[in-house]
Structure 1
């Protein structure tokens, strides 16, 4: 799983409380093109607290795409439009995927020692 940004100083119960108040985990997209090659990538995961704007976290990825995403033919413009739309609308919400990953990590059974006779 990618690194999770913006959770420094928060305990698990703080995160749960924020999530119940409307917080979410999001990723932003960006696109970089070099004439005939276009790279479409996602950022690390960002924890967006309830009432917090995604703008301050996504603006860098949006600007990167605006300046460097368009130039690849044919995918540069296509991927850039998609990345810009995703970022302007608040990023891609991956809250459920993060929670599922955390639950599966916590539910992995611990190996029990085998008794030898």
Structure 2
């Protein structure tokens, strides 16, 4: 998996930002290809002063576009995904 938002940062700088409140977050994606369901996304590094809403909104819109009409259970997966996105990933 690729880690986003760590470009140009050294390991020491990342450790300092984590101690100040930064965190690594994975947002749920539910993409259905008939029967198979793929969940998860890339890892995002969220800095202490940053909000997760801009990443969460992108993944929620992706879930709405790709999954709403594929099967009977997709709305359940989207609601579950929205719950995790509102919690912050």
TM-score, structure 1 normalization: 0.67
Residue in structure 2 matched with residue 32 of structure 1 by the alignment: 31
Q: In 2, Cα distance between the equivalents of 1:78 and 1:38?
A: 16
- Matched with 1:62 is 60
Partner of 1:8: 7
2:43 aligns to what? 45
Whole-Å Cα distance in 2 between the matches of residues 4 and 32 of structure 1? 20
1:28 CA drift (Å): 0.6
**Normalising by the residue count of structure 2, what TM-score does the alignment of the two structures yield?**
0.85
RMSD between aligned alpha carbons? 1.8
Equivalence map 1:78-97=2 (5 Å): 78-91=76-89
Between the two proteins, the alignment pairs up a number of residues equal to 89
Measured in 1, the distance between the counterparts of 2:38 and 2:72 equals 13
Deviation at 1:37, TM superposition (A): 4.0
- Give how far 1:30 is off: 1.7
Classify 1:50/1:19 alpha carbon distance in 2 versus 1 (closer, same or farther; 3 Å).
Answer: same
